[in-house]
Amino acid sequence: MKHSFLALPVLITLLACQDSMNVYKKPDSIIDVEQLIPDAVFDLRYASSNNFTGKQVSGYEAAKCLLDQEAAYALQKVQYNAKVKGLSLIIFDCYRPQRAVNDFLKWLDQPEQLQVKDQYHPHLSKPELLGPYIAEKSEHSKGITLDVSLAKQNVNGAYQEMEMGSSFDLFDPISNTDDLSISLSHRKNRYLLKELMEGDGFIAYDMEWWHFTYSRSGESELYYDFVIH
């Protein structure tokens, strides 16, 4: 018995070390969504400079949407139901490496840039973004959260994002799902997106109309940090 008690701290340490190594390795349970839902629209902002940091974010070496397979298959159902309505999902972000989250935190510490502030957080200072909009840990890093909107075909057959009353990553009260300052048609579009996503097990984040987390996954407690290749 005495030897068992002595071994327990060692075992805990070994397991913790194993977990710390596993965060850098993509598990088989996280899959490429585009292979499953090729007819969705993918506009993966953090793999480009078209985002609030103004640069390709650390960890995004390829423009891929990766999700836990349970969340991915649920999203496939959402896309099917959207297609029935003549619409498509347009996906902005999925799995997010922890190093990307760290990049966001570094961005918060940098001086304000007027042009960026006007476009992405016109009414809030950078310190006010920490918590409601940018956190030290993100469910994106577990592969169960994504940022998404709806797209509709134009006269040329190309899909264009539907008007939602505010743009993706506009860190502002107007991006709250239930904000009343936007038009009725924009609110209807937000509620349609929410209805479609919640119908297949995703939970909305009311501060950001585009942000949804899959609720039925036997999720890992790990916040992954493997690079997207």
Contact 149, 92 (CB under 8 A): yes
The closest of 181, 189, 196, 108 to 146, measured between CA atoms, is 196
Decide if 68 is inside a domain. Answer: yes
**Cα–Cα dist 167/138, whole Å:** 21
Give the model's confidence band at 44: pLDDT under 50 very low, under 70 low, under 90 confident, else very high.
Answer: very high
Q: How many domains does the chain have?
A: 1
pLDDT at 157: 87
Decide if 198 is inside a domain. Answer: yes
Decide if 21 is inside a domain. Answer: no
Decide if 5 is inside a domain. Answer: no
Question: pLDDT tens-digit profile of 82-103?
Answer: 999 999 999 999 999 999 999 9
Decide if 46 is inside a domain. Answer: yes
Assigned token pair, 141: 């890093």
Q: Which domain holds residue 59?
A: 28-214
- CATH at 45: 3.30.1380.10
Q: What is the DSSP string of 74-119?
A: HHHHHHHHHHHTTEEEEEEE----HHHHHHHHHHHHSPP-HHHHHH
Question: pLDDT tens-digit profile of 52-73?
Answer: 999 999 999 999 999 999 999 9
Catalytic residue among 70, 139, 208, 219: 208
pLDDT at 205 over 60: yes
Decide if 18 is inside a domain. Answer: no
Decide if 2 is inside a domain. Answer: no
What is the number of helices (H) and of strands (E) in the chain? 7, 8
Decide if 179 is inside a domain. Answer: yes
Q: Of 16-20, 163-167, 189-193, where does mean pLDDT reach its minimum? A: 16-20
> Within 13 A of 126's CA, how many CA atoms are on the CB side?
15
pLDDT at 2: 44
**Cα–Cα dist 61/228, whole Å:** 6
195 included as an active-site residue: no
Q: Summarize the confidence of residues 8-32 as an average pLDDT.
A: 67
pLDDT at 221: 81
pLDDT at 16 over 60: no
DSSP β-bridge partners for residue 60:
228
Angle, CA of 52, 58 and 64, to the nearest 5°: 90
Question: pLDDT tens-digit profile of 30-43?
Answer: 999 999 999 999 99
**Dihedral over Cα of 181, 187, 190, 191: its sign:** positive
